Every structure is written in structure tokens, then in C-alpha cells.
Amino acid sequence: EPEVTQTPSHQVTQMGQEVILRCVPISNHLYFYWYRQILGQKVEFLVSFYNNEISEKSEIFDDQFSVERPDGSNFTLKIRSTKLEDSAMYFCASSEWGRGGTDTQYFGPGTRLTVL
């Protein structure tokens, strides 16, 4: 069964450094998402992406964050200058349609980001 994959599984970085989290969505899906989950807290929406541009973003997704689909398969989340509070599990998800549809989002296994 197709699945969303994410790399790395765990990323440790120093405060102020840039990190790039990578995701490979399911191949025929058109909508891509990033979520984060701080340990012990709720899943929080960051951004959705469709047709090579951001579709929706939350208040969390400020200028420090950016997303990109550099090729036909990868979807990346970049954090320019990491802060301690960026430490969280970051989940990528994809869906076949997305916006306005009753569509299922399929989640990857997550990348645990630890900012020291």
C-alpha cells in the first residue's frame, strides 16, 4: 500500500541553524500538508500546498518557515533559524484532492526535531 515517507526520522540541531525536513507524498496525491506536534500536545496545522503554491497556512507558519516541492516527488519544510520552541514532531501528509473535499489525509511517520 502506498505511504508517505519522511526523512530524517530524528534531526538534532543547534538553535539558530537552518533545517530542512523532507517528505515524499503518495505519488498520485495533489495536496500536501505539514503539521507539528509538540510533545504531549495537540497536532497543529502549519501549511497546505497545492499546484506548487501555498494553499493555506496557520499563524504558526511565519517567515521562518517555507515549503517547496523541488522536484516531482519531494516536499520539503525549511526552518530558517531554529528556536528552542521549534522542537516537536513534524508530520507530512498528503491527500488526493484536499481543499473543500471530504478527503482523507495520509500521514507520514514524522520527523522528530530537537533544537538545542
Partner 1 sequence: SQKIEQNSEALNIQEGKTATLTCNYTNYSPAYLQWYRQDPGRGPVFLLLIRENEKEKRKERLKVTFDTTLKQSLFHITASQPADSATYLCALFMDSNYQLIWGAGTKLIIKP
Q: Where does this chain bind partner 1 (CB under 8 A)?
A: 4, 41-45, 48, 55-56, 58, 89, 91, 93, 98-100, 102, 104-110, 112
**Least distance to partner 1, CB of residue 81, Å:** 25
**Phi, psi of 23, rounded to the nearest 5 degrees:** -140, 145
Helix (H) or strand (E) holding 22: strand 19-24
Residue in the block written with cell 505519488: 27
Compare residues 75 and 91 and give the one whose CB is closer to partner 1.
91
Rounded to a whole number of angstroms, the minimum distance from the CB of residue 52 to partner 1 is: 17
Least separation, in Å, of the C-beta of 102 and partner 1? 5
Alpha carbons 43 and 96: distance in angstroms, whole number: 21
89 backbone dihedrals φ, ψ, rounded to 5° = -90, 130
Work out how close the CB of 43 gets to partner 1 at its nearest, in angstroms, rounded to a whole number.
4
Nearer to partner 1, 22 or 56 (CB): 56
Residue 81 or 104 with smaller CB distance to partner 1? 104
